[in-house]
Amino acid sequence: MPPGAFSGTQAQAAREVNTASLCRIGQETVQDIVFRTMEIFQLLRNMQLPNGVTYHTGTYQDRLGKLQEHLRQLSILFRKLRLVYDKCNENCAGLDPVPIEQLIPYVEEDGSKHDDRGAASQLRFASEERREIMEVNKKLKQKNQQLKQIMDQLRNLIWDINAMLAMRN
């Protein structure tokens, strides 16, 4: 293989970047954008307001230059992010969208496909189960109230018995 052909295949491979690496590049670009934005806000926070106080021109020009450089780099990063986004959309254009439900693995007991009737019956079952639980909770609260009344009556009875025993002595 001649040396020119090898460098040509490398250039072609570099141009045909897969979608996963594009997403990684996009993620890194977003992180750079956030970092640059934080630096811009830091510079703005440290700048003095023009409130009539004499300000050193050299320091002002230096900070203004840094701010303009950060803004220029930020615009370059946004252009890079747009290119990555467009390339990812171009790579994914031919793909058929997969419903999210198919991406979630689950095991069914009968081995049949999940359909709307199964979901409706599960929803109905869950609704009935919730209603039953609410009824049981209501009955449980009533029983707890009855037990509290009985305990109060027993406490009063024991108090009366102790009072009678104390008077007898």
Residue 167 backbone phi and psi in degrees, to 5: -75, -30
CA–CA dist 153, 163 (Å, integer): 15
Residue 77 backbone phi and psi in degrees, to 5: -65, -40
pLDDT at 1: 45
What is the residue-averaged pLDDT of the chain?
A: 82
pLDDT at 95: 76
pLDDT at 49: 64
For 25-65, the pLDDT digits (tens) are 999 999 999 999 999 998 888 776 666 666 677 777 888 88
> For 124-135, what is the mean pLDDT?
91
For 130-164, the pLDDT digits (tens) are 999 999 999 999 999 999 999 999 999 999 999 99
Return the CA Rg of the chain: 37
Q: CB–CB of 75/37 below 8 Å?
A: no
> For 76-85, what is the mean pLDDT?
94
- pLDDT tops 80 at residue 73: yes
More confident residue, 127 or 107: 127
What is the chain's length? 169
pLDDT at 145: 94
More confident residue, 159 or 103: 159
| Percentage of the chain exceeding pLDDT 90 | 43
- pLDDT tops 80 at residue 127: yes
CA–CA dist 29, 79 (Å, integer): 10
More confident residue, 124 or 9: 124
pLDDT at 114: 52
